[in-house]
Structure 1
Amino acid sequence: MSGAPTLHFHTDAGEFLAEAGDHLAANAVIGTVVATVAQRQVARRADGVTPPEDDWWLVVRDASGAVVGAGMRTAPFAPRPPFLLPMPDEAAVSLARIWHERGEEVRAVNGALPAVRRCAAEVTRLGGGRVEVAQHTRLHELDDLAEPARAPGALVTATGDDVDLVAEWFGAFMADADEQAGRPRGVSAHETPDRAELLRRIRDGRVWFWTDETGRRVHLTAANPPSFGVARIGPVYTPPEQRGRGWASNAVAEVSRRLRAEGARVCLFTDQANPTSNRIYANLGYRPVVDMANLVIVS
């Protein structure tokens, strides 16, 4: 029997979770993105929303049949980058070869290092081009929460009446993050949730504003519902004119406290090119777990 890992593709998120759920639960922080998206897709299917036909979910098994990796291609934005969790190097290379054999064009790969680097390198070896880093990210988990210097104001939960402002700030988040990291605005491809999804998050009580002493909304922090006991914070957005006043530190601290009170472990991503956000979260008690990258393949 060959010792090489085997790759198993699924088009149904529920079937994927049935196979990979134990693996995701055992690595719940590292698997937060895949688990969250899979559970969201299951919920949408139950509501009658059919996912795109070309979405897929990946389970990697070793020679004994144990799950040793996972991934997905569900991104609704171009170029629809697959997202890979840690997996053996052999599996990452085999994945690129499968794409090549079936003519599946892949122009970007996101996820955990070194898997995404191995996979993207094989994509270029087979199809040409070169790999460039669009963004280096780092996933952190909250250790002991450290209280920030107190800022005036309070955290309030968003309501349906706030959906337009929530949509505006969700949309501004990534472009501003690019600018803060020294990249051209809008260069990082990302998903902007549609109005229905934003309303669902608001309805679920997963979007908050920090308000200043006058009650004006000056900052937004959101979070995903827990998956396998882990809640992921994001996005965290402060408009440019409101930065440097402690809103983000205070909002993220309070949201983290509330999520912990629900019994969840708490994690978040940082952009490694943004020293400000990395410093804020480190000061709050967030500790690095795994490095990830968004890689693009250019001609």
Structure 2
Amino acid sequence: MTATLHFHADPGEFLDAAGNHLAADPVLNTVVASVAHRMAARRADGIALPEDDWWLVVRDASGAVVGAGMRTAPFLLPMPAEAAVALARTWHERGEMVSAVNGALPAARYCAAEVARLGGGRVEVAQHTRLHELDTLVPPTPAPGALAVAGADDVDLVTAWFDAFMADADEQAGRPRGASAHATPERGELLRWIRSGRIWFWTDGAGRPVHLTAANAPAFGVARVGPVYTPPEHRGRGWAGNAVAEVSRGLRAEGVRVCLFTDQANPASNRLYARLGFRPVVDMANLVVVP
């Protein structure tokens, strides 16, 4: 094999090794880059990271970085097919139990297929996603209310709406609630996110929260918006479009590029973001290996 796999337990060491590669296409690499930076900051603050997490750098025969990935949950960026297959074989040799692979196609598909071949089972698509980048922001029809930054006292509502977003997203896409197995961040992580000033409510004319939009801190000049959630009783009133537009405008004012993911099975959200000026970048998938 001409490609070699290099594993790092320290996200800071991973960023030192792969930073230039991630920065060369920071939109495509947004998930791995933002999670690595967040975990490196937590480690620097003395917060213990899960012992089984790792960060992957793929190098070609010349030593150049040609791919990357992470296991907080397995997420792969583009890499040679042989590297994706070798990663699955390495998991198998280590005895690591992997039941899902998320990330860029076709690398994620090659990896999941080899996991299934080695361990038995078959690969199914849990979710097709699409990464978009904001081009020219097209303001939506104004809706009553205003954007407000969430505070620490709002953590219970933020938690409830994060939980609901995960379940409702499946339902809106025609899947059973909870089928995508996305986990809400634990309370401490949500509080850190809130205190960073990156979770917002849209409040109605009476000042009541009716919608939530969040965004990751920028990594290599790119900020990723999400989750974006409106409770069912408040939908259809323009809250989401106005909130995402305002958040995106603010991020642009910081000098960063703005991107977000959509579920390809949810046409309503895809239409909304297209109207706001988001343009497709790459398709990804969450693949599960079932017995």
What's the TM-score bracket when you normalise by the shorter of the two chains?
Answer: over 0.9
Q: Match for residue 16 of structure 1?
A: 14
Q: Match for residue 233 of structure 1?
A: 225
- Of 99, 102, 109, the residue aligned with 2:91 is 99
Deviation of 1:49 (Å): 0.9
- Kindly indicate whether residue 54 of structure 2 is the aligned counterpart of residue 56 of structure 1: yes
CA deviation map 1:206-244 (0-9, x unaligned): 011111111111000000100000000010000011111
CA deviation map 1:110-156 (0-9, x unaligned): 11111000111111122210000000000100000001111111111
Aligned-pair identity in percent equals: 79
CA deviation map 1:21-58 (0-9, x unaligned): 00001110111111111111111111111111111110
CA deviation map 1:148-190 (0-9, x unaligned): 1111111111111211111110111110000000000011112
- When normalised by structure 1's length, the TM-score is 0.96
Letter in 1 for 2:198: R
Q: Match for residue 103 of structure 2?
A: 111
SS at match of 2:78: coil
Q: Match for residue 269 of structure 1?
A: 261
SS at match of 2:271: helix
Unaligned segments of structure 1, at least 5 residues: 76-81
- When normalised by structure 2's length, the TM-score is 0.98
Q: Match for residue 205 of structure 2?
A: 213
Letter in 1 for 2:162: F
CA distance in 2, matches of 1:250, 1:218: 12
Letter in 2 for 1:6: T
Letter in 1 for 2:72: T
- Kindly indicate whether residue 199 of structure 2 is the aligned counterpart of residue 201 of structure 1: no
Q: Match for residue 32 of structure 2?
A: 34
Letter in 1 for 2:236: G
CA distance in 1, matches of 2:30, 2:108: 17
SS at match of 1:293: strand
- Kindly indicate whether residue 119 of structure 2 is the aligned counterpart of residue 127 of structure 1: yes
CA distance in 2, matches of 1:198, 1:124: 34
SS at match of 1:30: coil
CA distance in 2, matches of 1:121, 1:196: 36
CA distance in 2, matches of 1:98, 1:246: 48
Letter in 2 for 1:12: D
Unaligned segments of structure 2, at least 5 residues: none
Deviation of 1:93 (Å): 1.0
Letter in 1 for 2:82: E
Letter in 2 for 1:37: V
- Kindly indicate whether residue 289 of structure 2 is the aligned counterpart of residue 297 of structure 1: yes
Q: Match for residue 80 of structure 2?
A: 88
- Of 260, 274, 279, the residue aligned with 1:282 is 274
More deviation, 198-207/170-179: 198-207
